[in-house]
């Protein structure tokens, strides 16, 4: 299948070596490409996934790294890749930084309008559908965004993956970004039915750490959030180097 849609991924991986300094500055300000492990969001809920049997019952754990790159240059190690849409909805960032933060901020606005109009919080499904429909209008025009919309609504915990290609899927665990493949491995093998909150947090942390270990475009710190029935909390922030030392010591 040969689509005439513009393939934006190649565009983001431009070589900066040899370019004029002016251009480098523009690239960083404009659309710094976050080719890094963005998020590992996991949600399991007995009520929603009855046929799967009881899995993680306590909400959604969201773990992200914090590295931003422009080509092979590390532009920042302290990026906030979890966007707080509202007190019970989180969005993660992968792809173009500008695209993610802009569209998710727009989503926050839409969610607030929904609340005002309907006197009710928006569901995670509806919020993710709003985002998916917004970016679908720009399909093929070069947007680069892969995000997970995580929250807790009246149907329980919710986790949706939405991207600029038009994908929108509901699931109970996802991994997004350039390092996602490494995180999937650790995440899938470490999942169990009876995880406690601390174990789930540790699994998310470990999955991100393993991704930063192998993927050059991921690194910095691991930010961990937990979305509960009464909203999200920021659980921890761990530098990847410290985690490396800790896991190395544990292995001895």
Partner 1 sequence: MEYLIGIQGPDFVLVAADTVAASSIIQMKHDYDKMFKLSEKILLLCVGEAGDTVQFAEYIQKNVQLYKMRNGYELSPAAAANFTRKNLADYLRSRTPYHVNLLLAGYDEHDGPALYYMDYLSSLAKAPFAAHGYGAFLTLSILDRYYKPELTREEAVELLKKCVDELNKRFILNLPAFNVRLIDKHGIKDLEKLPLATTSTS
Per CB under 8 A, the list member of 174, 182, 209, 232 interacting with partner 1 is 174
Nearer to partner 1, 3 or 250 (CB): 3
Two tokens, residue 67: 């590295």
Side-chain half-sphere exposure of 114, counting CA atoms within 13 A: 16
Count of H-run helices and E-run strands, the chain: 7, 14
The CA-based diameter of the chain, rounded to the nearest angstrom, is 58
In the complex, the smallest distance separating the C-beta of residue 162 from partner 1, rounded to whole angstroms, is 10
Residue 116 in contact with residue 110, Cβ under 8 Å?
A: no
6 binds partner 1 per the rule CB under 8 A? no
Two tokens, residue 213: 């270990």
Euclidean distance between CA atoms 60 and 236, whole angstroms: 15
138 binds partner 1 per the rule CB under 8 A? no
Two tokens, residue 127: 């919020």
Binding window for partner 1 (CB under 8 A); candidates: 111-119, 129-137, 204-212, 226-234:
129-137
In the complex, the smallest distance separating the C-beta of residue 167 from partner 1, rounded to whole angstroms, is 5
Strand pairing partners for 76?
68
Per CB under 8 A, the list member of 43, 168, 205, 206 interacting with partner 1 is 168
Euclidean distance between CA atoms 130 and 239, whole angstroms: 34
Site string for partner 1, 145-164 (x = CB under 8 A): ----------------x-x-
Residues 6+ apart with CB under 8 A from 206: 186, 190, 247
Euclidean distance between CA atoms 137 and 99, whole angstroms: 14
136 binds partner 1 per the rule CB under 8 A? yes
241 binds partner 1 per the rule CB under 8 A? no
Query: What is the residue whose two structure tokens read 């470490």?
Result: 190
Nearer to partner 1, 138 or 247 (CB): 138
47 binds partner 1 per the rule CB under 8 A? no
What are φ and ψ of residue 53, in 5° steps?
Answer: 80, 170
202 binds partner 1 per the rule CB under 8 A? no
Binding window for partner 1 (CB under 8 A); candidates: 27-35, 83-91, 178-186, 199-207:
178-186
166 binds partner 1 per the rule CB under 8 A? yes
Per CB under 8 A, the list member of 57, 84, 106, 165 interacting with partner 1 is 165
Contacts with partner 1 by CB under 8 A lie at 1, 3, 5, 132-133, 136, 139-140, 161, 163, 165-171, 174, 180-181, 184
């Amino acid at each position: 299948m040969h689509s005439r849609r513009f393939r934006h991924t190649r565009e983001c991986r431009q070589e900066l070596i040899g370019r004029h300094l002016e251009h480098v500055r523009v690239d960083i300000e404009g659309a710094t490409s976050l080719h890094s492990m963005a998020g590992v969001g996991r949600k399991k809920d007995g009520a929603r996934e009855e046929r799967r049997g009881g899995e993680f019952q306590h909400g959604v754990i969201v773990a992200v790294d914090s590295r931003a790159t422009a080509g092979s240059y590390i532009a920042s190690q302290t990026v906030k890749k979890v966007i707080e849409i509202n007190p019970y909805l989180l969005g993660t960032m992968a792809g173009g930084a500008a695209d993610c933060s802009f569209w998710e901020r727009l989503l926050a606005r839409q969610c607030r309008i929904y609340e005002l109009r309907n006197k009710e919080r928006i569901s995670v499904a509806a919020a993710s559908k709003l985002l998916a429909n917004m970016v679908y209008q720009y399909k093929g025009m070069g947007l680069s965004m892969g995000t997970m919309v995580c929250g807790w609504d009246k149907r329980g915990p919710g986790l949706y993956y939405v991207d600029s290609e038009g994908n929108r899927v509901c699931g109970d665990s996802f991994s997004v970004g350039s390092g996602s493949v490494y995180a999937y491995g650790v995440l899938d093998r470490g999942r169990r039915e009876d995880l406690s909150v601390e174990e789930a947090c540790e699994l998310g942390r470990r999955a991100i750490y393993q991704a930063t270990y192998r993927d050059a475009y991921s690194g910095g710190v691991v930010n961990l959030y937990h979305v509960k029935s009464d909203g999200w909390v920021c659980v921890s922030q761990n530098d990847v180097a410290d985690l490396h030392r800790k896991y190395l010591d544990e292995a001895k």
